[in-house]
Amino acid sequence: MEFKGIKGKLLQVGLEHVKKSAKIEGTVDFVEALGTDTIVHANIGNGQIIKVKLPGHIPLEVGSKVKIVIDLDNIHVFDKNTEKAII
């Protein structure tokens, strides 16, 4: 089964204080500075991009390496075909 997405609010870059978590390493592909938030587009391999919404201005450069932390206690995963929540 392929999954379509994970709710972005549950992703963080470089923060490892979450008790139950999974970590994905990626490379910054694009940074959207929106004023109150920053959206980081990270390439995690095989052409897959994860978008992470972070509060405030985050000074990340394209090409820099990031660790994305997923809060497994609050994760929501969606099926790619039906777009229904799996978890």
Q: What are phi and psi of 13, to 5 degrees?
A: -105, 120
SS3 73: helix
Cα–Cα distance, 17 to 29 (Å, whole number): 25
Distance (Å, whole) CA 80 – CA 29: 23
Question: Tell me, what's the pLDDT at 15?
Answer: 47
Give the 3-state secondary structure of residue 16: coil
This prediction's pTM: 0.69
pLDDT single digits (tens) 1-50: 444 445 555 455 554 555 666 788 899 999 999 989 888 898 999 888 88
**Burial of 11 (C-beta count, 10 Å sphere; 0-12/13-18/19+):** buried
